[in-house]
Amino acid sequence: MNKNLKSSPLRVYSIYTNVKKVLKRKKYKDENLYKMVWFKGYNDAKWIHNDCKRIFNDIENSFYSYNDLLIAMFYESIFIKSFTLRMLTDKRINEIKSLFSLIELKKDKKILLAINKNIIFNSIEDYFRLNTEEVSYIYELIMKKFISPIFWIKYDNFFDSIEQIYKESEEHIKFRKICKYMKSHY
């Protein structure tokens, strides 16, 4: 591989393409999302040139890293069916980056403690239990943006450890898959 491509607009395009590819899969498969993707007509694709170059310049100026970009793409894919690079500005990526901090995790725990005063659960595992809508309570809180996905990423082992009564919905399966990719790059 050419050394100049390790940090270039083409690398941004490659990450974007790889993320889009893994999101189309039904199941999680560990994969190198930083591998280079080649395409024809680089000069003809203006959106690729403009958006990838803008993001590349932000990364080179240390506004965020390639890993932060990757997490932001996965985060946006949780809430938006089809996201584009144009949506990912340096301000937005840094907002998402702040959602994956220990400070945010502490805030999420406080919110769950406050909720637990009204809805009495015996343990944290109860938040990961599927309800009649075939999604977990944590998922609902994340989708309403009361808590961030970092809570799921840190404590996803609770979901696997409990026996579920209800069948899991497709949206919830997709969410868990995206969180696994985020966890592997967090």
Percent of the chain with pLDDT over 90: 48
From CA 46, how far away is CA 44, in angstroms rounded? Answer: 6
Residues 107 and 180 in one domain: yes
51 pLDDT higher than 80: yes
Residue 151 neighbours by CB under 8 Å, 6+ apart: 105, 108, 109, 112, 138, 142
Domain-terminating residue out of 54, 79, 97:
97
Domain with 170 in it = 102-185
Domain-terminating residue out of 97, 125, 153:
97
pLDDT of residue 43: 53
Residues 10 and 85 in one domain: yes
42 pLDDT higher than 70: no
Computed over every residue of the chain, the mean pLDDT equals 86
Residues 108 and 61 in one domain: no
Residues 81 and 111 in one domain: no
Domain-terminating residue out of 47, 80, 97:
97
Residues 85 and 112 in one domain: no
From CA 45, how far away is CA 175, in angstroms rounded? Answer: 31
> 64 in helix, strand or coil?
coil
18 pLDDT higher than 50: yes
pLDDT of residue 3: 44
Domain count for the chain: 2
Do residues 149 and 75 lie in contact, with contact meaning Cβ atoms separated by under 8 Å? yes
In this structure, what are the phi and psi dihedrals at residue 73, rounded to the nearest 5 degrees?
-65, -45
Residues 116-125 pLDDT 10s: 888 878 888 8
